[in-house]
Amino acid sequence: MDQTDGVPLEQERSGLLGGGKVPESFISRAFHGRRQSNDVSARLPPGQYLERGFPVLSAGPTPHTPLERWDFSILGSVAQPKRWTWNELRALPHESITVDIHCVTKWSKLDTHWEGVSVDTLLAQIESEADYVIAFCDGGYTTNLPRDEVTGGKAWIAYAYDGEPLPPEHGGPARLLVPRLYFWKSAKWVRGLRLVDTDEPGFWETLGYHNLGDPWKEQRYAGD
Amino acid sequence: METPRARSLTLMVPDWPGHRPGQHVDVRLTAEDGYRAERSYSIASPPEENPRVTITVERLDDGEVSPYLVDEVHGGDRLELRGPIGGYFVWEASMGGPLLLVGGGSGIVPLMAMLRHRRARASTVPTRLLYSSRSQDEVIYHNEFDDVAARETGLKVIYTLTRRQPSGWTGYGRRIDSDLLRDVAWPAQDRPLAYICGPTQFVETAATGLAALGYDPTLIKTERFGPTGGE
């Protein structure tokens, strides 16, 4: 069991040994649940439920950086760091995408519409051999990812949601969007990516959450 | 039942590893055909009550899990738990204060774990709780606040009832706003530790309000949950 600061992070207080049949003792008496249609169920990773709203979760107050002071940087283990102002970022080729998103707090939202610049477009302008990126944000939030989780069309710097400018509570003016991982990796109020040769756990990763966070493997907490 | 919609469930967890006030548990329910639902619930009890772990669940009208926990579960039933989870929204007496707790609706639950821990430690950390509820009968833990909190050193509880107030009510009767926060909050120069928990808009208003009063944003911790409804 992993430990942080000497405090046990979590323990499975029950466990299904091996796979297959649910032991009698773990069946919840008289629980029936609410089933989704097969095509919705197939799109929900294990342990997730369908949410029609758009919950806001954050660690701390919402930052507000005026656009004239905002910038996005790629730095760290790079030949030459690069920086874009808001206008420069908005002038780059951008995409409209529709993706499912999955929060570690168990809700999933299907077919969410975003607009943003692919991280591939930004990384194409720098040279680096580094294998990991750390997203850093207004307010001090960080999250770490393998570089190949943000390349090959898997990640964006998103500035519009559902056809409107991204609201501050949801990470506006711009957030990282990495729909293939739990949504804590889609860092709100992102201001840049730091490329590093050695992985460094970010904010939630240091507090007991999984280092990668693949919802299809239910990688919520360290040790999963 | 704590209120018509909120129920506290106390579980005996013999090998519970202990927890920190503010942490939560994941509860997993399994139907006979193997269908599963998982949800997180803040722990209401302090670590000092180990191996008893109490959660307080508010029934959501369109919930899948909360109606089961509030209406169906009875003594002798077993629940599958995972935890404790969360290392950020935590207060322990050793962290000091002054402490400002701001709770809206069922957001009071993790704050209650902090207060019960404070009491169990006989801590005298100066503490203020601002607790917003829709009406008096929706004040969760009201008996405990009336009976026990009134006698604790250095603890002040301030209520605001946002929809209905009983006759003769002299307390606040509106949603929190920056004036209310300014009246109630510790001065920023005391470098208070602030914990805010409740529905999204409530947390947004409180966090923004405290930051505007000069609170260090890194000392304002937020946890948002409750019914999300639409956008």
pLDDT digits (tens, 9 = 90+) for A151-205: 999 999 999 999 999 999 999 999 999 999 999 999 999 999 999 999 999 999 9
pLDDT, tens digit, for every residue of A64-81? 999 999 999 999 999 999
Q: Which residue did the predictor score with more confidence, A196 or A10?
A: A196
| Per-residue pLDDT at A9 | 33
Q: What is the mean pLDDT of residues A84-106?
A: 97
How distant is the Cα of A218 from the closest Cα of chain B, in angstroms?
Answer: 12
pLDDT of residue A25 exceeding 90, the answer is no
How distant is the Cα of A149 from the closest Cα of chain B, in angstroms?
Answer: 25
| Per-residue pLDDT at A50 | 94
| Per-residue pLDDT at A19 | 36
Q: Mean of the per-residue pLDDT values for chain A?
A: 90
**Which residues between 25 and 54 in chain A have a beta carbon less than 8 angstroms from any beta carbon of chain B?**
25-35, 46-47, 49, 51-54
pLDDT category at A26 given cuts 50, 70, 90 is confident
Q: For A196, list phi and psi in degrees, rounded to 5.
A: -135, 150
Helix, strand, coil shares of chain A, percent, nearest 5, are: 15, 30, 50
Q: For A50, list phi and psi in degrees, rounded to 5.
A: -80, 130
Q: What's the CA gap between A106 and A119, in Å, rounded?
A: 26
How distant is the Cα of A42 from the closest Cα of chain B, in angstroms?
Answer: 13
| Per-residue pLDDT at A18 | 32
* Dihedral sign, Cα of residue A36, residue A40, residue A46, residue A49: negative
Q: Which residues of A touch B204 (CB under 8 A)?
A: 56, 62, 169
Q: What is the mean pLDDT of residues A126-134?
A: 98
Q: What is the mean pLDDT of residues A39-60?
A: 92
Partner residue opposite B82 with nearest CB, options A13, A105, A139: A13
Partner residue opposite A61 with nearest CB, options B78, B81, B211: B211
Q: Which of the residues in chain B have pLDDT under 70?
A: 226-231
Specify the pairing of strand A132-137 against strand A107-118: unpaired
| Per-residue pLDDT at B226 | 52
Residue with tokens 């990688």: A219
Q: What is the mean pLDDT of residues A28-48?
A: 94
| Per-residue pLDDT at A14 | 37
Q: b/e string for A80-114 if b means 16 or more Cβ within 10 A?
A: eebebebeebeeeebeebebbbbbbbbbbbbebeb
Using the beta-carbon criterion (under 8 Å), do A34 and B64 form an inter-chain contact?
yes
pLDDT, tens digit, for every residue of B21-34? 999 999 999 999 99
Chain B interface includes A14 (CB < 8 A): yes
pLDDT of residue A93 exceeding 60, the answer is yes
Other residues' Cβ atoms within 10 Å of the Cβ of residue A148: 11
Chain B interface includes A163 (CB < 8 A): no
pLDDT category at A7 given cuts 50, 70, 90 is very low
Residue A93 token pair: 């080729």
For chain A, the straight-line distance linking the first and the last C-alpha, in angstroms and rounded, comes to 10
ipTM beyond 0.95?
A: no
User: Cα B92 to the chain's mean position, in Å?
Assistant: 15
Q: How far, in Å, are A23, A47, A78, A93, B69 from residue B58 at the CA level?
A: 29, 20, 50, 47, 9
Partner residue opposite A53 with nearest CB, options B87, B222, B231: B231
pLDDT of residue A133 exceeding 50, the answer is yes
| Per-residue pLDDT at A53 | 87
| Per-residue pLDDT at A200 | 98
Q: Which residue did the predictor score with more confidence, B151 or A18?
A: B151
| Per-residue pLDDT at A23 | 59
